[in-house]
A = this chain, B = another copy of it.
């Protein structure tokens, strides 16, 4: 098999750990597989570089920022290749440019346009283990670009796609994807398999195992991705296309996201164009709105509620203060202590009554639902923050996720 292995910053945080990675790579090679390794920078290094730049200015030139940050992976790939060579496993380190990760020119969050991977193929043909810098690419203008936080996952998936690798193993500090946060639900179970779509929903709901764009990329090119622990041996969780087994399972996971706040505009004149004005203004400020609810009101007045990321709450408050006067609304309410509890599963498509079960379960626990949103494979409820863990446990039990 041809296997791409990606190790994150914690896995290469010091020389002892880099040696540990080298032993895992060597073992895979000894088992007869071809291996391509993708690495992040040492944990903490990117933060260190960012804070150096922030000592100068809080809005550093982005082209220069990318060049600065790209230094981190050069260190780890060189050190791993040095280790493998010293163990008798021929290896070469390749930067994003040398691999041919061609991106657009949007610095600090570039998108991959194509992956040449010629030198990686050539190395494999010569029995050399290629060690590739994650997170970085090169623009058509020959400038260094970076793919955004967590971009090394995307590098690994993109190289796996370009090489038509049999497997893309992402080594992290968790040993797979769970039915719920094991810190909340002791019966939480590691999933052997999960579909790309479910994983996307879980990632967007705050289960930060894999960078979202890497999951999209994997889905697009059908790359089989496995999430594994760097530190504990195990089978991990396989991300793959939907299959019959998956469809039998109604709910695959329960998550709880505490990073949203609820904003309510009370007494909005019920006129055409008002909602467009509100959400247009928010969007212009680069704030991403998640859920939106418009309550039916009396006397041509309506209440509009929506959620925004907790980090944007002050910015939202400022924008809304002006806007409320503009549109002639009564007042603004912001509720910070909320939790968004969600259930995810491709089986929902073919099973009815899932939403009803969710709502009645929450009701039976005395939990009031403030907002609801649904997609084909997900149902989310906003509830009082203090009930978040209780809700996750109850839903995990009612959908029998421990089995």
Contact = CB atoms under 8 A, between A and B. Distances in A.
A75 interface: yes
A93 interface: yes
A71 interface: yes
Contacts of A19: 56
Given A57-B86, A64-B82, 16 more contacts: A15-B56, A52-B79, A56-B86, A57-B82, A60-B82, A60-B85, A61-B81, A61-B85, A63-B92, A64-B79, A64-B92, A67-B77, A67-B78, A68-B79, A74-B74, A97-B97
Contacts of A53: 78-79, 82
- Size category of the A interface is 35 or more
Interface of A: 15, 18-19, 49, 52-53, 55-57, 59-61, 63-65, 67-68, 70-72, 74-75, 77-79, 81-83, 85-86, 91-93, 95, 97-98, 142-144
A233 B92 CA distance: 46
A88 to B, nearest CB: 11
Contact of A15 (B18, B52, B78, B86): B52
Given A78-B64, A79-B68, A82-B61, A15 B93 contact: no
A79 B85 CA distance: 33
A398 to B, nearest CB: 52
Nearest to A133: B67
Contact of A95 (B49, B55, B67, B78): B67
